[in-house]
């Protein structure tokens, strides 16, 4: 089943997404705030879907903060 981008954005804005420990560490190392991640989710493009991920399906989103690409 294809990911529903609109629903993903809604969940991100409601703080109902899981950011993995690995992602949190990378965010800290790169000085990236959670609100920036939410902006990338809202404006970005789904480039990969992982429907079999556990504990829930996930996606890879490509987006930009300024001219810097994030995924």
pLDDT, tens only, 2-46 = 678 888 889 888 988 878 899 899 999 999 999 998 899 899 999
Exposed, middle or buried by CB within 10 Å (0-12, 13-18, 19+), for 39? middle
**Domain boundaries, given as residue ranges, for the chain:** 5-70
If pLDDT is split at 50, 70 and 90, which confidence band does 1 have? low
């Amino acid at each position: 089943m294809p990911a529903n981008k609109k629903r993903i954005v809604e969940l991100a804005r409601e703080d109902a997404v899981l950011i993995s420990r690995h992602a949190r560490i990378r965010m800290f190392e790169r000085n990236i705030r959670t609100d920036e991640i939410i902006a990338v989710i809202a404006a970005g493009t789904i480039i990969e879907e992982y429907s079999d991920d556990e504990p829930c399906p996930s996606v890879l989103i490509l987006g930009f903060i300024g001219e810097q690409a994030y995924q």
